[in-house]
Structures are given as structure tokens and as C-alpha cells.
């Protein structure tokens, strides 16, 4: 089984050996109830699904919107408000099954690699741009976690020295420019500086403080010049980040997913052109940029596959 614990929604699924979702359930996470209550609810959803399908899960894989250590303890999870939660141990005790826990984006990367857009690749990079920005690295046929599980935290790769304040809380991080929250903040600033040019954004959002990445995407769809400009800058920042990553990681495939990726028209060709112009020639030889294929299921499919196939640091 695969479990994806996000800030707002938790998904649980029986996942077959070919990555197919056999049965699934979604619940509101409501993390403010405390980890204990949320873990007990996940265990009860797992029991109900197992009973309904008359199947017993071989193992349970969890991807959580959190920093997770190798024992499966949530070290820190700003989106959940949890810290020092021994998630793997507690869920294991509640379900009496082996439990593996990793970061949700690393789980999604594993899912896209094994069963999605990256099938069969030895070297790939996943980039998920939603409200936050995260990623995952597969190099030489292995998913990479790093010394303390932060490999793939590409949202917090600085792209501007002394730049915009991030939520991490560094400055100039990629996420502070292209994350959904950052696009909204940049658009609100533009609307404060140039209220007349921001008329369409203000009309769509109702008021300045409600302008979001989605507002910008909607306005750009209606050919609003300011929104188009904000998105063009966003593409520029994302290109800068990708150029560095492509040079350093040297993937064969870059997989892009997440709400912001969906919300920028024609993004992939624009990124392809930008990366092709600016990255090292050797790093872009045979490089392909693709859209993620598993959508919102990538995390639970990947977590289930990690649980089934064994996490690399235990092999
Ligand atoms: Zn950051």
C-alpha cells in the first residue's frame, strides 16, 4: 500500500506490482489534530481497504510532506506543524506491517521513475512546482537521498544572491521566485506598484491580497500583458534553476509536474529552448524534458513501490 500525507489531503491506496492503483481512499489530513490522531486514522483507512478488498498489504510505503530521517521519523514538517514524530514506528505498530517513510516528493520521483514518464531511465531529474518546489534525483540507476535525506531539495537552491526571502528561511531560493506562493506575492507587489496595469488581476481576484498564482495564470490566458510578463519572468527563473541542475546532475530526462507547470501555457518548449541555449552543450546532448505522467497519484504509487522493492539505504 501507498500513503501520501499532504498538508491538506491524505491518500491511501492498494498499489499493484506494475504501479496500478487497485483501490484508494482520500481524506482531509487536518494535521492540527496532532500526529497521533492522523496516524490512527490512516491505520483505520488501511484496515478498511484491506478488509473490503480481502487483501493484506505486503508492506506500507508513506510519502509525507516533511523532512524524514532514515528511521522514518518526521524531523520537521512546516506544512503539517509536526516535528520529531516517529511515523514509521507508530504506523507499523498500528497496522502490524513493515512501514517505510520518505519525503513525498522523493516518493513521487520514485513513482515517475518506475511507472511514469521516467520508466527505464538511468539518470533523471524530477521537478515539481506547486505551492512549494521540490524534486528528486535518480543518478546511475539509483534514487539519491543524500547523507541526511535532503538530496532533491531543489526549491531551496539559491538562484539570486541576497534575493527574495524564502520560507526555508534563506534568501534567493528557486522556490521564492517560482513557487505558487511566490508568484502570488510577486504579482501582489506588481499590483501595488502599478495598479493601473494590474486592473485585470485585481478584477479577477477581487482585491490585491487575494491575487494568487492561479489569478496570474487566468489573466495570462486572457492575454493580460502584466500577467504574461510575470509568467515570462517565472519561466526565466525556472530556466536559470534548470540550467544549473542539468549541468550538475546531468540527467537524460527532466520530468516536470505540479500546478504551476500546468498553469503556464507552452512552458515545456520555452524551457527546452532556454536550457538548450544556456546549459553546457555536453549536458544537453540527448536531454529530454517531459511532463509528469502520474499526476496526483505519483506520491502514493512511488511510496508503495519503495516499500515493495526495498529502500536503497537498506540494500
Ligand atoms: Zn528556501
Phi, psi of 111 (to 5 degrees): -60, -45
Ligand 1 centre distance from Cα of residue 181 (Å) = 12
Ligand 1 centre distance from Cα of residue 179 (Å) = 10
Residue 288 shares a structural domain with residue 306: no
Ligand 1 centre distance from Cα of residue 149 (Å) = 16
Instruction: For 284-311, write each residue's pLDDT tens digit.
Output: 999 999 999 999 999 999 999 999 998 7
Residue 103 shares a structural domain with residue 144: no
Ligand 1 centre distance from Cα of residue 83 (Å) = 19
CA distance between the termini of the chain:
20
Distance CA(144)–CA(32), nearest Å, equals 31
Residue 54 shares a structural domain with residue 143: no
Confidence band for 149, pLDDT divided at 50, 70 and 90: confident
Residue 74 shares a structural domain with residue 199: no
Handedness of CA 147, 313, 3, 109 (dihedral sign): positive
Distance CA(225)–CA(206), nearest Å, equals 19
169: cis peptide before it, omega within 30°?
Answer: yes
Within a domain: 115: no
Within a domain: 92: yes
Give Cα 67 distance to the centre of its chain.
13
Instruction: For 30-84, write each residue's pLDDT tens digit.
Output: 999 999 999 999 999 999 999 999 999 999 999 999 999 989 999 999 889 999 9
Number of Cα atoms under 13 Å in the Cβ half of residue 291: 16
| pLDDT > 90 in the chain, percent | 93
Count the domains in the chain: 2
Residue 242 shares a structural domain with residue 199: yes
Ligand 1 is an ion; residues with CB less than 5 A from it? 156, 166, 168, 170, 173
| CB-CB contact of 190 with 221 (8 Å) | no
pLDDT of residue 126: 98
Ligand 1 centre distance from Cα of residue 36 (Å) = 29
pTM of the model: 0.93
Confidence band for 265, pLDDT divided at 50, 70 and 90: confident
pLDDT of residue 315: 47
Within a domain: 42: yes
Mean pLDDT of the chain: 95
Ligand 1 centre distance from Cα of residue 171 (Å) = 6
pLDDT of residue 313: 61
The alpha helices in 116-179, defined as continuous H runs, are 175-178
Instruction: For 213-259, write each residue's pLDDT tens digit.
Output: 999 999 999 999 999 999 999 999 999 999 999 999 999 999 999 99
Ligand 1 centre distance from Cα of residue 71 (Å) = 25
Ligand 1 centre distance from Cα of residue 310 (Å) = 30
Residue 128 shares a structural domain with residue 233: yes
Within a domain: 306: yes
Spatial neighbors of 223 by CB under 8 A, at least 6 apart, are: none
Ligand 1 centre distance from Cα of residue 184 (Å) = 16
pLDDT of residue 257: 96
Cβ of 76: how many Cβ atoms within 10 Å?
13
The average pLDDT across 264-272 equals 95
Is the pLDDT at 314 greater than 60? The verdict is no
Ligand 1 centre distance from Cα of residue 192 (Å) = 24
The domain spanning residue 205 has which CATH number? 3.30.420.40
Distance CA(150)–CA(154), nearest Å, equals 9
Residue 181 shares a structural domain with residue 276: yes
Ligand 1 centre distance from Cα of residue 167 (Å) = 6
pLDDT of residue 68: 93
Within a domain: 80: yes
Confidence band for 15, pLDDT divided at 50, 70 and 90: very high
Distance CA(117)–CA(218), nearest Å, equals 27
Residue 54 shares a structural domain with residue 137: no
Domain that holds residue 21: 2-110+296-314
Residue 47 shares a structural domain with residue 135: no
Residue 102 shares a structural domain with residue 226: no
Within a domain: 254: yes
Ligand 1 centre distance from Cα of residue 314 (Å) = 30
Ligand 1 centre distance from Cα of residue 155 (Å) = 6
Residue 232 shares a structural domain with residue 279: yes
Residue 83 shares a structural domain with residue 177: no
Amino acid at each position: 500500500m501507498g500513503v501520501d500525507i499532504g498538508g491538506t489531503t491524505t491518500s491511501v491506496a492498494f498499489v499493484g506490482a506494475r504501479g496500478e492503483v487497485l483501490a484508494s481512499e482520500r481524506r482531509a489530513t487536518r494535521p492540527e489534530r496532532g500526529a497521533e490522531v492522523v496516524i490512527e486514522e490512516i491505520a483505520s483507512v488501511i484496515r478498511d481497504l484491506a478488509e473490503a478488498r480481502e487483501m493484506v498489504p505486503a508492506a506500507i510505503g508513506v510519502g509525507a510532506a516533511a523532512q524524514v530521517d532514515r528511521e522514518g521519523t518526521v524531523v520537521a514538517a512546516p506544512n503539517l506543524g509536526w516535528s520529531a514524530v516517529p511515523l514509521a514506528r507508530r504506523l507499523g505498530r498500528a497496522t502490524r506491517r513493515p512501514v517505510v517513510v520518505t519525503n513525498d516528493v522523493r516518493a513521487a520521483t520514485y513513482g515517475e521513475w518506475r511507472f511514469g514518464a521516467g520508466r527505464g531511465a538511468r539518470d533523471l531529474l524530477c521537478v515539481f512546482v506547486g505551492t512549494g518546489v521540490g524534486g528528486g534525483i535518480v543518478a546511475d540507476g539509483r534514487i539519491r537521498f543524500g547523507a541526511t535525506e535532503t538530496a532533491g531539495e531543489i526549491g531551496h537552491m539559491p538562484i539570486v544572491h541576497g534575493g527574495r526571502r524564502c520560507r526555508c528561511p534563506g534568501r534567493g531560493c528557486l522556490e521564492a521566485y517560482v513557487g505558487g506562493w511566490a508568484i502570488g506575492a510577486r504579482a501582489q507587489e506588481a499590483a501595488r506598484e502599478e495598479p493601473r496595469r494590474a486592473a485585470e488581476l485585481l478584477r479577477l481576484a477581487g482585491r490585491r491580497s487575494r491575487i494568487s498564482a492561479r489569478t496570474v495564470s487566468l489573466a495570462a490566458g486572457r492575454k493580460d500583458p502584466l500577467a504574461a510578463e510575470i509568467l515570462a519572468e517565472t519561466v526565466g527563473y525556472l530556466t536559470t534553476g534548470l540550467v544549473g541542475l542539468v549541468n550538475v546532475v546531468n540527467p537524460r530526462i527532466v520530468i516536470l509536474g505540479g500546478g504551476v507547470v500546468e498553469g503556464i501555457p507552452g512552458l515545456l518548449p520555452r524551457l527546452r529552448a532556454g536550457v538548450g541555449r544556456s546549459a553546457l552543450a555536453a549536458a544537453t546532448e540527448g536531454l529530454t524534458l517531459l511532463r509528469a505522467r502520474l499526476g496526483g497519484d505519483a506520491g502514493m504509487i512511488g511510496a508503495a513501490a519503495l516499500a515493495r522493492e526495498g529502500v536503497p539505504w537498506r540494500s
